[in-house]
Structure 1
Amino acid sequence: MAMTWDGLEQIQPAALKMMKNSIQKSRVAHAYLFEGMRGTGKKDAAKLLSKALFCENPIDGFKPCEACLNCKRINSGNHPDVHWVEPDGLSIKKQQIKELQEEFSKKGMESSRKMYVIDDAEKMSTGASNSLLKFLEEPGAQTVALLLTENPQQMLPTILSRCQIITFRPLSPEFFIKQLVENGIGPDSAPLLAQLTNNVHEALELNAQDWFAQAQKIVVKLYEMLKKNPLEAMVALQGEWFQHFKEKEQIDRGLDLLLLVLKDLLYIQLGKQEQIVFKKESGRLEQFALQTRTRSLPDQMAAVLEAKRRLHANMNPQLLMEQLVLKLQEGSSFV
C-alpha cells in the first residue's frame, strides 16, 4: 500500500512542509535533493511529490487524491512522464543519463510537465554526473528533477549547488520500535534492531537471520572473555569471531553490536535499565556492569568507533580486531 501524505508527515514533518509550501506557492524547484539515511521515507516522498504535481484532483491544492488515473499510474510505476533511474549494477552509467536526456527532449506525452527521479544518486559514474550537470544547467520550463541519496558528500558540489536540499531525519527509535512490533518483531528484539537500521524491510531480514542471532551471542561472549585475560579473548577471536564475521560488512555489524553492548552497560550503571537494547541478555549485562568501572566505558566506546573508522580505511581486519581486543583490555578497568 502506498504511503499517504498524512502518514509520511507524521515522521518527516519538516520535509513535507517544504514540499507543501513549494506546491502551494507555485514555486516548485527545477531540482530537489532528498538526503537522509535509508528507510527515512525519501522514495515515498518522491512518489508523493510526483503525484501531487500530476494529480487530477489534489486535496487542499497539494495532497494527491490517490484515486485518479495519474496517481494510480505513478503508484504502479507506469506514468509516461515520470521516469525513475536506478543503478545498473553498482553504478548509474553515463548511457542511462543520456537516454534520460533523449527522452526529455521529446514533448510530454500528456502534459507539458515531466519529472525524473534518480535513486542512489551518489552512485552516478563520473561520466553520468557530468552529463546530469549539463542537464541541470539547462532545465526545461516544466521539468522537475528529484535526486535521492544517503551520501550527498559523494556527489559533485556543482550538482548539489543546483538542487534545493530537503533533509530526511532519522526516525525516532520509539516510533520505529512501534513500527517493528506492528510488523511482527518481538518487543525484546525490536529495540536492538531499531539501533541498527531505519528500514523496516532490513530489520525484518536481520530478525529472520540465524547469522544475526548468532552474531549477538558471539559479541556478548567476546566482552565476557575480555574480563578474563588476553589469551582467553584472543582464543575467542580466533575460535568464533573470525569464523563468523568474515566480510567487511559483517565485521562492521559486529562492531556496531559491540558498541551497543557498551552503551547498555553504561545505561545499567546509570540506573536506566529501561533503555538497554540487548533485552535478552539483560541478566548477563547486569553482571558485567557490576564488574566494570563506569569511567572506562567511554574509552572503550571510543576504541570501537576508531576500529570502525580503520575498517573503512581498509585496515587488515584480523590485525584490527586483535589490536582492538588489546586496547579494550588496557582501558577496561574491570573491578
Structure 2
Amino acid sequence: MSFEGIYGQDKQIAILRRSMEKGRIPHAFLFHGMRGIGKRTTAVAFAKALLCERKTACGLCPACRKVESGNHPDVVVITPQGQFIKIEDIRDLRNQMRFRPLEGPKRIFILVDAERMNIASANSLLKTLEEPSLVNVLILVSSRPYQLPMTILSRCQKLRFHPIPSDIVARYLEEKTGLDGETVAVLAASSGGSIGRALEMHGESYLTRRKRFIGKICEGFSDPLKGILFAGDFGKDRKEIELRFEILKSWYRDLMVYKETGETKKLIHQDFAEAVRSMAGGMTPSDILRALETVEWAHKALEKNANKQLTLEAMTFKLSGQA
C-alpha cells in the first residue's frame, strides 16, 4: 500500500511527506483516531516510504516489496497478544532498538492498539522514549489515546486521523467490492466514517440484521407485549447489543433530521425513507429528543452492568410514551 492507496487522509499524508522532504522525522509518532480509518495502513505506508529506494513508497523496489510482505528486517509491527501488549514484547522492542538498521537508513517500529499496554509495558516503553535515536522511528497507533499515560503522550508527535466522508467510503466500496449502489450507500452512511467498519458490517450480514431490526422498530412499542418481546430479542452477546443500540440511535437521528429538514437525502437509512417519514410525522422534535435520551440512558446503564432485561424493558416502556 502506497500513500496514493489511502482514502480520506490527504492532510495527514501531506504532513508525513513534508517531514520527509525536510529531513525532520520525529523519533516518535502517535497516530490516533477512530478504528478503521487508515491509521495502521498509513503507518506501514510511511515505513515503506522511509525505506523506499525512490522515497515514494513506489511498491516496486525490493525494500517496498519486503515491507508489503511483512519481511523487511527494519520494520517491526507489534500487536496485542490477548488482552494486553505484554512487557516481554516491549522489552524485545527496546532490545532491537539498540542495533543499527540492517538494510535501510532507519528502523521503524509500529505499535498497534498502543493503549492496550499495561502499566509495566508503558513504563518500559517510556524509557525508550526518553532516549531517542536518530535511526529509530516509533509509531504508536491508537483509537483510545486518552488511555495512554501523559508521560508517553507528551513525548510523541501527534497526528490525528479523522472520520472519512461517506462519499469517499462509498467510492472505496464501489472500487474494491463490486457491491450494488444501494448496498454501498447504506454501508457508507452507516459506517460512521470508517472504511474498516463498512467492510466489517458487510462481512457480518449487517444489512440483513439491520433490516430485520428496523422492521421491529417500525412495529412500534405501544403494545406492551411487543415491547417485552422487543426487549427480550435485543441481542444476547455484547457485540450484538452494541450493534442494535447503534442502529436505534441512528434511527432516531434520522427522524430528527427529517423532522428538521423535511429532506431524506441526509438520512442514514435512506432505504427506509418512507418509514422515517411516517414515524416522524407522529412525533414532535421534543418527542424524538426524549427518545434519543432514553436510548442513550439504557446504553450507558448496560455499560455499567445494569440488569439487561429490566433496563431494556424500561427503555421500550419509555419509548412507547407510557412513562
Distance 1:88 1:315 in 2: 30
Aligned to 2:132: 139
Distance 1:159 1:208, change over 3 A: closer
Q: What per-residue deviation string (whole Å, max 9, x for no partner) do you get for residues 181-237 of structure 1?
A: 3323333333432323544454344234457513432344135322x2344312332
Distance 1:211 1:55 in 2: 39
Distance 1:193 1:314, change over 3 A: farther
Q: Which residue of 216, 224, 237 maps to 1:221?
A: 216
The one-letter code sitting in structure 2 at the alignment partner of 1:50 is A
Q: Which residue of 260, 263, 271 maps to 2:250?
A: 260
Kept after mapping to 1: 8 A contact 2:220/2:320: no
Kept after mapping to 2: 8 A contact 1:222/1:237: no
Q: Which residue of 268, 289, 299 maps to 1:298?
A: 289
Aligned to 1:105: 98
Name the Cα RMSD after superposition. 2.2
Distance 1:184 1:307, change over 3 A: farther
Aligned to 2:117: 124
1:1-335 superposed matches below 5 A: 2=1, 4-8=2-6, 11-58=8-55, 63-111=56-104, 113-182=106-175, 183-194=177-188, 195-200=190-195, 202-210=197-205, 213-226=208-221, 228-238=222-232, 240-241=233-234, 245-269=235-259, 270-330=261-321
Distance 1:185 1:277, change over 3 A: farther
Kindly, what percent of the aligned residue pairs are identical? 29
The one-letter code sitting in structure 2 at the alignment partner of 1:102 is N
Kept after mapping to 2: 8 A contact 1:82/1:114: yes
SS of residue in 1 equivalent to 2:71: coil
Distance 2:318 2:253 in 1: 17
Shift of 1:288: 1.7
Which runs of at least 4 in structure 1 moved beyond 6 Å after TM superposition?
none
Q: Which runs of 5+ in 1 are unaligned?
A: none
Kept after mapping to 1: 8 A contact 2:163/2:192: no
Shift of 1:177: 2.1
Shift of 1:154: 1.1
Q: Which runs of 5+ in 2 are unaligned?
A: none
Distance 1:192 1:317 in 2: 29
**TM-score normalized with structure 1 length:** 0.87
Kept after mapping to 2: 8 A contact 1:225/1:236: no
Distance 1:170 1:318 in 2: 34
Distance 1:112 1:14 in 2: 25
The one-letter code sitting in structure 2 at the alignment partner of 1:143 is N
Shift of 1:329: 2.7
The one-letter code sitting in structure 1 at the alignment partner of 2:29 is Y
Distance 1:64 1:204, change over 3 A: closer
Aligned residues: 320
